[in-house]
């Protein structure tokens, strides 16, 4: 039991060490908390293409670091969020955006959930109505049985 605890402790220490070494890379100097918040918003809306299921703010890939400093530099130049996103889309395509834009080739993506909701609603409404009618019929039958 004791040995297991020591092992677990060592593992935990290793994990903590790993996270601190990761966190020490590339400290960006923000002028204001607002600027930092804006940077974090942007970096969490853009995909890191090296490890495609992570955002730029999550990823430790060298390219993600480069792109983060690129975003930082563009913010310092006074570029707007849209300009920064356009810079990314020009190079890597719409795929970098975690929030895909509404355009002809993404219509299905945007409308499918609404369509599914509508179909689900219809199916539910029909089922509820049928069940209500069934219950009513049963009640009528019981009533007439009682009378007889």
What residue ranges bind another protein (CB under 8 A)?
49-50, 52, 62-63, 66-67, 70, 89-93, 95
Query: What is the closest distance, in whole angstroms, from the C-beta atom of residue 139 to another protein in the complex?
Result: 24
- CB nearer to another protein: pick between 9 and 101: 101
27: CB partners within 8 A, 6+ apart: none
- CB nearer to another protein: pick between 94 and 139: 94
The interaxial angle of helices 62-76 and 33-45, nearest 10 deg, is: 130
- CB nearer to another protein: pick between 43 and 49: 49
Query: What is the closest distance, in whole angstroms, from the C-beta atom of residue 87 to another protein in the complex?
Result: 9
- 13-48: b or e for each residue (b if 16 or more CB lie within 10 Å)? eeeeeeeeeeeeeeeeeeeeeeeeebbeebbebbbb
- CB nearer to another protein: pick between 12 and 107: 107
Query: What is the closest distance, in whole angstroms, from the C-beta atom of residue 129 to another protein in the complex?
Result: 14
- CB neighbourhood size of 90 (10 A): 9
Q: How far apart are CA 56 and CA 43, in angstroms?
A: 5
Query: What is the closest distance, in whole angstroms, from the C-beta atom of residue 46 to another protein in the complex?
Result: 12
- CB nearer to another protein: pick between 14 and 63: 63
- Do residues 39 and 71 make contact, with C-beta atoms less than 8 angstroms apart? yes
Where would I find the beta strands (DSSP E) of the chain? none
Query: What is the closest distance, in whole angstroms, from the C-beta atom of residue 47 to another protein in the complex?
Result: 10
């Amino acid at each position: 039991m004791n040995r297991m605890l020591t092992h677990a402790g060592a593992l935990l220490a290793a994990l903590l060490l790993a996270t601190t070494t990761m966190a020490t890379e590339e400290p960006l100097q923000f002028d204001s908390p607002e600027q930092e918040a804006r940077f974090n918003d942007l970096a969490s809306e853009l995909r890191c293409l090296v490890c495609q299921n992570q955002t730029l703010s999550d990823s430790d890939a060298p390219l993600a670091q480069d792109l983060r400093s690129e975003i930082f530099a563009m913010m310092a130049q006074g570029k707007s969020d849209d300009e920064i996103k356009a810079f990314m889309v020009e190079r890597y395509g719409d795929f970098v955006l975690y929030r895909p834009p509404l355009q002809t080739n993404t219509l299905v993506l945007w409308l499918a959930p609404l369509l599914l909701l509508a179909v689900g609603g219809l199916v539910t409404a029909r089922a509820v109505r049928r069940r209500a009618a069934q219950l009513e019929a049963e009640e009528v039958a019981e009533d007439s049985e009682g009378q007889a």
